[in-house]
Amino acid sequence: MFFESFKDGEGCKSYIVACEETCSAAIIDPALGLVDRYIGQIAMHGLRVRYIVDTHTHADHFSGAQALKAEFHAPIVMHRFSPSPYVDLHVEDGHTLPLGELRMRIFHVPGHTRDSMAVHIGDRVFTGDTLLIGGTGRSDLPSGDADQLYDSCSASCWRCPTKRWCSPRTTTRAASIRRSATSARTTHGCRRPCGPSSSS
Ligand SMILES: [Fe+2]
């Protein structure tokens, strides 16, 4: 699986993921300020953009999704609860989208925002802002909900100890995310076992 990460001036990470057999690519959480870099990397590697994915409505940076859609004519993918009028393909929990010979599995994980989702592709999990390293995304922005965020931290989609986790702040392995989930439990005052720390 082709994988490349990017970091904008605010420290937010974004990703290009592609099937190496078919060159089908998805750009995940693109930042407006990095659009030229995505375009350059797509051209350099001979990729074909099939999807532009925003894991949730971003409050801390401008999405590059619309600019990339104009360049690549690929659909913008977001959860069906997204309020954006620019979404071409609404998805929800349990949906699977083909990406060449790979599959993009969608998990609805509300709490940071109502439209937050995690995306599994190959051996990676793209967490959006639901789980960060050492904590979770904030829940005090519009449509955020701390209780939902706690429940999302308990969701089965995190229970993949062999996968690599790609959050907007860094990329790591499951052990660090387990610590984040534990932190989330503390932060939100919940008593139940939480997230990957309770996985088998
Ligand atoms: Fe966010």
- Percent above pLDDT 90 for the chain: 64
Distance CA 44, CA 110 (A): 36
Interval between CA 117 and ligand 1 midpoint (Å): 11
Question: Separation of 21 CA from ligand 1 center, angstroms?
Answer: 32
**102 C-alpha to ligand 1 centroid (Å):** 26
CA–CA separation, 126 and 59 (whole Å): 18
**CATH of segment(s) 2-198:** 3.60.15.10
Distance 31 CA to ligand 1 centre (A): 12
Tokens found for residue 44: 């350099």
- The 10 Å Cβ neighbour count of residue 103 is 13
Distance 156 CA to ligand 1 centre (A): 21
pLDDT: which is higher, 188 or 83 = 83
Question: 18 C-alpha vs ligand 1 centroid, how far in Å?
Answer: 23
| Res. 200 pLDDT band, cuts 50 70 90 | very low
Q: At 136, is the pLDDT very low, low, confident or very high (cuts 50, 70, 90)?
A: confident
pLDDT at 32 over 50: yes
Domain definitions of the chain by residue range: 2-198
Residue 187 pLDDT exceeds 60:
no
Q: Ligand 1 center to residue 49 CA distance, Å?
A: 23
